Structure 1
Amino acid sequence: MPSYSTPPVGLDTGHRYIVDKIMTDLRRLRRCYGKPKQEWLPLYERELAVLLPGGFVAEVEYGFQRRGRRVLSLAYTIARDGTLREAYADTVPSDVDVHGAGWHSYLRWSRSWLDLPEPERGRIEAALPFRRESGTPLRDGDGCWRLDRTYAHHHAGAERRVFGPLDRPAH
Protein backbone atom coordinates (compact mmCIF):
# COMPACT_ATOMS: atom_id res chain seq x y z
CA MET A 1 0.00 0.00 0.00
CA PRO A 2 1.43 3.41 -0.91
CA SER A 3 2.16 5.94 1.79
CA TYR A 4 1.22 9.62 1.57
CA SER A 5 2.40 12.28 3.94
CA THR A 6 0.79 15.41 2.53
CA PRO A 7 -2.62 16.20 1.10
CA PRO A 8 -3.00 17.27 -2.51
CA VAL A 9 -1.89 20.76 -3.44
CA GLY A 10 -4.79 23.19 -3.54
CA LEU A 11 -6.76 21.94 -0.52
CA ASP A 12 -8.58 25.06 0.63
CA THR A 13 -8.44 26.24 4.23
CA GLY A 14 -12.00 25.17 5.05
CA HIS A 15 -11.43 21.56 4.02
CA ARG A 16 -7.90 21.51 5.48
CA TYR A 17 -9.47 22.57 8.80
CA ILE A 18 -11.99 19.71 8.75
CA VAL A 19 -9.31 17.17 7.76
CA ASP A 20 -7.09 18.42 10.61
CA LYS A 21 -9.91 18.10 13.17
CA ILE A 22 -10.70 14.52 12.12
CA MET A 23 -7.02 13.58 12.10
CA THR A 24 -6.59 15.05 15.60
CA ASP A 25 -9.41 12.79 16.80
CA LEU A 26 -7.85 9.74 15.11
CA ARG A 27 -4.46 10.45 16.68
CA ARG A 28 -6.18 10.72 20.08
CA LEU A 29 -7.89 7.37 19.52
CA ARG A 30 -4.49 5.91 18.66
CA ARG A 31 -2.94 7.31 21.86
CA CYS A 32 -5.78 5.94 24.02
CA TYR A 33 -6.33 2.56 22.34
CA GLY A 34 -3.39 1.83 20.03
CA LYS A 35 -5.46 2.06 16.84
CA PRO A 36 -5.70 3.02 14.07
CA LYS A 37 -2.23 1.84 13.11
CA GLN A 38 0.26 4.68 12.65
CA GLU A 39 0.75 3.85 8.97
CA TRP A 40 -3.00 4.27 8.32
CA LEU A 41 -3.17 7.86 9.60
CA PRO A 42 -1.65 9.50 6.49
CA LEU A 43 -3.80 7.25 4.30
CA TYR A 44 -7.01 8.39 6.00
CA GLU A 45 -5.77 11.97 5.75
CA ARG A 46 -5.07 11.63 2.03
CA GLU A 47 -8.47 10.04 1.42
CA LEU A 48 -10.28 12.93 3.09
CA ALA A 49 -8.12 15.52 1.35
CA VAL A 50 -8.99 14.04 -2.05
CA LEU A 51 -12.72 13.53 -1.41
CA LEU A 52 -13.89 16.46 0.74
CA PRO A 53 -13.30 19.32 -1.73
CA GLY A 54 -15.55 17.64 -4.30
CA GLY A 55 -18.30 17.06 -1.75
CA PHE A 56 -18.01 13.29 -2.24
CA VAL A 57 -18.34 12.22 1.42
CA ALA A 58 -21.72 12.15 3.16
CA GLU A 59 -20.38 10.48 6.32
CA VAL A 60 -17.24 8.72 7.48
CA GLU A 61 -16.90 6.58 10.60
CA TYR A 62 -13.86 5.27 12.47
CA GLY A 63 -13.81 3.08 15.53
CA PHE A 64 -13.89 -0.30 17.16
CA GLN A 65 -16.21 -3.23 16.59
CA ARG A 66 -16.72 -6.60 18.19
CA ARG A 67 -18.61 -9.33 16.33
CA GLY A 68 -20.01 -6.83 13.81
CA ARG A 69 -21.31 -4.41 16.43
CA ARG A 70 -19.96 -1.01 17.37
CA VAL A 71 -18.09 -0.69 20.65
CA LEU A 72 -16.68 2.84 20.20
CA SER A 73 -17.03 4.92 17.03
CA LEU A 74 -16.54 8.47 15.85
CA ALA A 75 -18.79 9.35 12.91
CA TYR A 76 -18.55 12.60 10.95
CA THR A 77 -21.46 13.88 8.89
CA ILE A 78 -20.06 16.29 6.34
CA ALA A 79 -21.77 19.60 5.61
CA ARG A 80 -20.67 21.79 2.72
CA ASP A 81 -22.41 25.02 3.63
CA GLY A 82 -20.45 25.87 6.79
CA THR A 83 -23.60 26.54 8.80
CA LEU A 84 -22.46 24.46 11.77
CA ARG A 85 -21.41 26.21 14.93
CA GLU A 86 -17.81 25.81 16.04
CA ALA A 87 -16.73 23.51 18.86
CA TYR A 88 -13.27 22.29 19.74
CA ALA A 89 -11.71 18.88 19.25
CA ASP A 90 -10.42 18.41 22.74
CA THR A 91 -11.00 14.82 23.74
CA VAL A 92 -12.25 11.44 22.70
CA PRO A 93 -13.63 8.85 25.11
CA SER A 94 -10.60 7.29 26.80
CA ASP A 95 -12.02 4.63 29.11
CA VAL A 96 -14.05 2.34 26.85
CA ASP A 97 -13.21 -1.39 27.00
CA VAL A 98 -12.08 -2.24 23.46
CA HIS A 99 -10.33 -5.49 24.47
CA GLY A 100 -10.85 -8.00 21.68
CA ALA A 101 -12.38 -5.38 19.38
CA GLY A 102 -11.11 -4.78 15.86
CA TRP A 103 -10.64 -1.50 14.04
CA HIS A 104 -13.20 -0.44 11.45
CA SER A 105 -13.85 2.44 9.11
CA TYR A 106 -16.88 3.04 6.90
CA LEU A 107 -17.48 5.77 4.33
CA ARG A 108 -20.90 6.68 2.94
CA TRP A 109 -20.65 8.38 -0.44
CA SER A 110 -22.57 11.59 -1.11
CA ARG A 111 -25.08 12.22 -3.88
CA SER A 112 -22.37 14.27 -5.66
CA TRP A 113 -20.19 11.13 -5.86
CA LEU A 114 -23.02 8.92 -7.04
CA ASP A 115 -23.92 11.43 -9.76
CA LEU A 116 -20.40 11.55 -11.20
CA PRO A 117 -19.82 9.84 -14.56
CA GLU A 118 -17.88 6.57 -14.17
CA PRO A 119 -14.70 7.89 -15.92
CA GLU A 120 -14.54 10.83 -13.48
CA ARG A 121 -14.99 8.51 -10.48
CA GLY A 122 -12.18 6.34 -11.83
CA ARG A 123 -9.86 9.35 -12.10
CA ILE A 124 -10.57 10.36 -8.50
CA GLU A 125 -10.30 6.79 -7.19
CA ALA A 126 -6.85 6.55 -8.79
CA ALA A 127 -5.72 9.41 -6.52
CA LEU A 128 -6.94 7.66 -3.36
CA PRO A 129 -4.44 5.82 -1.15
CA PHE A 130 -6.65 2.72 -0.84
CA ARG A 131 -9.89 1.34 -2.24
CA ARG A 132 -12.89 0.98 0.03
CA GLU A 133 -14.98 -2.14 -0.38
CA SER A 134 -18.74 -1.79 -0.58
CA GLY A 135 -20.64 -2.88 2.47
CA THR A 136 -23.15 -1.88 5.07
CA PRO A 137 -22.52 0.05 8.28
CA LEU A 138 -22.11 -1.88 11.51
CA ARG A 139 -24.98 -2.42 13.89
CA ASP A 140 -24.93 -0.59 17.19
CA GLY A 141 -23.63 -2.53 20.17
CA ASP A 142 -24.47 -1.87 23.80
CA GLY A 143 -24.43 1.90 23.88
CA CYS A 144 -25.80 4.98 22.18
CA TRP A 145 -24.87 7.80 19.83
CA ARG A 146 -24.22 11.33 21.13
CA LEU A 147 -23.71 14.44 19.00
CA ASP A 148 -20.80 16.07 20.78
CA ARG A 149 -18.85 18.29 18.36
CA THR A 150 -19.32 20.42 15.29
CA TYR A 151 -16.49 21.75 13.19
CA ALA A 152 -16.88 24.54 10.64
CA HIS A 153 -14.56 26.82 8.72
CA HIS A 154 -15.49 28.94 5.72
CA HIS A 155 -17.76 26.77 3.55
CA ALA A 156 -16.85 23.38 5.07
CA GLY A 157 -18.29 21.73 8.15
CA ALA A 158 -18.74 18.41 9.93
CA GLU A 159 -20.72 17.13 12.89
CA ARG A 160 -19.04 14.52 15.09
CA ARG A 161 -21.13 11.85 16.77
CA VAL A 162 -19.67 9.38 19.26
CA PHE A 163 -21.00 5.87 19.85
CA GLY A 164 -20.05 4.43 23.22
CA PRO A 165 -21.31 2.70 26.35
CA LEU A 166 -24.40 4.12 28.03
CA ASP A 167 -22.67 4.55 31.38
CA ARG A 168 -19.79 6.66 30.04
CA PRO A 169 -19.77 10.37 29.25
CA ALA A 170 -19.24 11.27 25.59
CA HIS A 171 -15.91 12.97 26.34
Structure 2
Amino acid sequence: MTYAQTQTFSRTEARYLASKVVADLHQCARLYGKPSASSITDYETELVERLVNGYVSEYEFGFKKNDKRVVAWQYAVKDGDLVGGSVDDRPGRVYARADISGASYYNYMAYTQKWNALSAEEKTAFLATLPFTRAAGQLPGDGSGYWITDKTYTRGGVAVTRKTFRPL
Protein backbone atom coordinates (compact mmCIF):
# COMPACT_ATOMS: atom_id res chain seq x y z
CA MET A 1 0.00 0.00 0.00
CA THR A 2 1.30 3.46 -0.92
CA TYR A 3 0.35 6.69 0.78
CA ALA A 4 1.01 10.11 -0.69
CA GLN A 5 0.23 13.41 0.92
CA THR A 6 0.03 16.67 -0.97
CA GLN A 7 -0.12 19.83 1.02
CA THR A 8 -0.67 23.31 -0.32
CA PHE A 9 0.29 26.23 1.87
CA SER A 10 -2.76 28.48 2.02
CA ARG A 11 -3.35 32.15 2.68
CA THR A 12 -5.04 31.19 5.97
CA GLU A 13 -1.88 29.36 7.07
CA ALA A 14 0.28 32.30 5.97
CA ARG A 15 -1.92 34.65 8.03
CA TYR A 16 -1.60 32.34 11.01
CA LEU A 17 2.21 32.32 10.88
CA ALA A 18 2.37 36.06 10.19
CA SER A 19 0.13 36.65 13.22
CA LYS A 20 2.81 35.11 15.45
CA VAL A 21 5.44 37.52 14.14
CA VAL A 22 2.97 40.41 14.33
CA ALA A 23 2.25 39.62 17.99
CA ASP A 24 6.00 39.94 18.63
CA LEU A 25 6.07 43.24 16.69
CA HIS A 26 3.24 44.59 18.86
CA GLN A 27 5.02 43.52 22.03
CA CYS A 28 8.21 45.19 20.77
CA ALA A 29 6.23 48.38 20.13
CA ARG A 30 4.76 48.30 23.64
CA LEU A 31 8.16 47.75 25.24
CA TYR A 32 10.38 49.93 23.05
CA GLY A 33 8.04 52.40 21.28
CA LYS A 34 8.59 51.11 17.74
CA PRO A 35 7.36 50.13 15.21
CA SER A 36 4.19 52.17 14.85
CA ALA A 37 0.78 50.49 14.65
CA SER A 38 0.37 51.51 11.00
CA SER A 39 3.81 50.08 10.16
CA ILE A 40 2.88 46.80 11.86
CA THR A 41 -0.24 46.55 9.70
CA ASP A 42 1.86 47.10 6.57
CA TYR A 43 4.51 44.59 7.71
CA GLU A 44 1.77 42.03 8.31
CA THR A 45 0.31 42.50 4.82
CA GLU A 46 3.74 42.16 3.24
CA LEU A 47 4.66 39.10 5.29
CA VAL A 48 1.40 37.27 4.50
CA GLU A 49 1.80 37.89 0.76
CA ARG A 50 5.43 36.81 0.72
CA LEU A 51 4.75 33.73 2.85
CA VAL A 52 1.82 32.52 0.76
CA ASN A 53 3.90 32.92 -2.40
CA GLY A 54 7.05 31.35 -0.92
CA TYR A 55 9.16 34.50 -1.35
CA VAL A 56 10.55 35.07 2.17
CA SER A 57 13.40 33.08 3.73
CA GLU A 58 14.24 35.31 6.69
CA TYR A 59 12.65 38.20 8.52
CA GLU A 60 14.31 40.32 11.20
CA PHE A 61 13.52 43.41 13.21
CA GLY A 62 15.15 45.10 16.14
CA PHE A 63 17.27 48.01 17.24
CA LYS A 64 20.79 48.86 16.16
CA LYS A 65 23.43 51.35 17.17
CA ASN A 66 26.53 52.06 15.06
CA ASP A 67 25.50 49.24 12.68
CA LYS A 68 25.51 46.71 15.54
CA ARG A 69 22.49 44.91 16.94
CA VAL A 70 21.35 46.00 20.39
CA VAL A 71 18.32 43.69 20.53
CA ALA A 72 16.72 41.80 17.63
CA TRP A 73 14.31 39.05 16.62
CA GLN A 74 15.08 36.91 13.59
CA TYR A 75 12.66 34.48 11.94
CA ALA A 76 13.86 31.76 9.55
CA VAL A 77 11.19 30.29 7.25
CA LYS A 78 11.66 26.62 6.37
CA ASP A 79 9.82 23.53 5.25
CA GLY A 80 8.13 22.31 8.44
CA ASP A 81 9.34 18.76 7.86
CA LEU A 82 12.89 19.96 8.47
CA VAL A 83 12.17 20.74 12.11
CA GLY A 84 10.63 17.36 12.83
CA GLY A 85 7.15 17.54 14.14
CA SER A 86 4.36 19.88 14.91
CA VAL A 87 5.88 22.27 17.45
CA ASP A 88 3.85 25.46 17.58
CA ASP A 89 4.88 27.83 20.34
CA ARG A 90 2.89 30.81 21.54
CA PRO A 91 4.30 34.18 20.47
CA GLY A 92 5.62 36.67 22.98
CA ARG A 93 8.21 36.68 25.71
CA VAL A 94 9.98 39.42 23.79
CA TYR A 95 13.17 40.43 25.62
CA ALA A 96 12.19 43.49 27.66
CA ARG A 97 15.34 44.87 29.27
CA ALA A 98 17.48 46.18 26.39
CA ASP A 99 18.81 49.73 26.64
CA ILE A 100 17.94 51.17 23.22
CA SER A 101 18.92 54.78 23.98
CA GLY A 102 20.56 56.17 20.85
CA ALA A 103 19.54 53.09 18.82
CA SER A 104 17.36 53.08 15.72
CA TYR A 105 14.66 50.61 14.71
CA TYR A 106 15.22 48.43 11.63
CA ASN A 107 13.19 45.84 9.73
CA TYR A 108 14.82 43.48 7.23
CA MET A 109 13.64 40.71 4.92
CA ALA A 110 15.65 38.15 2.93
CA TYR A 111 14.15 36.44 -0.09
CA THR A 112 14.01 32.89 -1.41
CA GLN A 113 15.38 31.47 -4.61
CA LYS A 114 11.78 31.35 -5.86
CA TRP A 115 11.64 35.16 -5.59
CA ASN A 116 15.03 35.55 -7.23
CA ALA A 117 13.89 33.38 -10.16
CA LEU A 118 11.00 35.73 -11.03
CA SER A 119 11.34 38.01 -14.02
CA ALA A 120 11.61 41.75 -13.49
CA GLU A 121 8.02 42.13 -14.72
CA GLU A 122 6.73 39.51 -12.29
CA LYS A 123 8.55 41.17 -9.39
CA THR A 124 7.19 44.59 -10.35
CA ALA A 125 3.63 43.24 -10.55
CA PHE A 126 3.95 41.55 -7.15
CA LEU A 127 5.52 44.60 -5.48
CA ALA A 128 2.63 46.74 -6.74
CA THR A 129 0.30 44.69 -4.50
CA LEU A 130 2.24 45.56 -1.32
CA PRO A 131 1.58 48.58 0.93
CA PHE A 132 5.19 49.81 0.76
CA THR A 133 8.46 49.22 -1.06
CA ARG A 134 11.49 48.03 0.84
CA ALA A 135 14.81 49.70 0.23
CA ALA A 136 17.82 47.45 -0.26
CA GLY A 137 19.88 47.15 2.87
CA GLN A 138 22.16 45.02 4.96
CA LEU A 139 21.71 43.54 8.37
CA PRO A 140 23.70 45.06 11.20
CA GLY A 141 26.44 43.01 12.80
CA ASP A 142 26.14 41.53 16.26
CA GLY A 143 26.77 43.95 19.07
CA SER A 144 27.64 42.99 22.62
CA GLY A 145 25.27 40.09 23.16
CA TYR A 146 24.28 36.60 22.10
CA TRP A 147 21.66 34.69 20.09
CA ILE A 148 19.21 32.16 21.50
CA THR A 149 16.68 30.09 19.57
CA ASP A 150 13.52 30.47 21.60
CA LYS A 151 10.36 29.84 19.53
CA THR A 152 9.09 27.79 16.61
CA TYR A 153 5.79 28.47 14.88
CA THR A 154 4.38 25.93 12.41
CA ARG A 155 1.43 25.60 10.11
CA GLY A 156 0.72 23.83 6.84
CA GLY A 157 4.15 22.26 6.46
CA VAL A 158 6.01 25.55 7.03
CA ALA A 159 8.02 26.35 10.15
CA VAL A 160 9.16 29.77 11.31
CA THR A 161 11.93 29.57 13.90
CA ARG A 162 12.61 32.64 16.04
CA LYS A 163 16.01 33.58 17.38
CA THR A 164 16.49 36.48 19.75
CA PHE A 165 19.63 38.61 20.00
CA ARG A 166 19.96 39.67 23.62
CA PRO A 167 22.43 42.17 25.02
CA LEU A 168 24.88 41.01 27.68
TM-score range, shorter chain: 0.7 to 0.9
Coordinate RMSD, CA, aligned? 1.6
- Corresponding residue SS for 2:143: coil
Pairing 1:89-104 to 2, within 5 Å after superposition = 89-104=91-106
- Of the two, which has the highest radius of gyration? 2
Partner of 2:4: none
Counterpart mapping for 1:152-167 below 5 A: 152-166=154-168
Give the distance between the partners of 1:81 and 1:148, measured in 2 at CA: 16
135, 149, 152: which one aligns with 2:151: 149
1:114 pairs with one of 98, 113, 116: 116
1:60-79 map, 5 Å? 60-79=59-78
Identity rate, percent: 32
TM-superposed CA distance for 1:37, in Å, is 1.5
1:6 aligned partner? none
Runs (4 or more) in structure 1 with deviation over 6 Å come to: none
State the alpha-carbon separation in 1 of the partners of residues 56 and 97 from structure 2.
29
TM-score by length of 1: 0.86
- Paired with 2:50 and 2:153, the residues of 1 have a C-alpha distance of 17
How many pairs does the alignment contain?
157
Partner of 1:127: 129
Residue 62 of structure 2 contacts residue 73 of structure 2 at CA under 8 Å; is this kept in 1? yes
**Aligned twin of 1:28:** 27
Aligned to 2:5: none
Does the 8 Å contact 1:82/1:152 carry over to 2? no
Deviation track 1:54-109 (CA, whole Å, cap 9, x = no partner) reads: 11001010110111110010110012445542222131001111111110011111
Which residues of structure 2 form unaligned runs of 5+? 1-9
Secondary structure of 2:14's aligned partner: helix
SS at match of 2:105: strand
Residue 156 of structure 1 deviates from its aligned partner by 2.4
SS in 1 for 2:52: helix
What's the TM-score, normalizing by structure 2? 0.88
Q: Which runs of 5+ in 1 are unaligned?
A: 1-10, 167-171
Q: Which residue of 2 aligns with 1:50?
A: 49
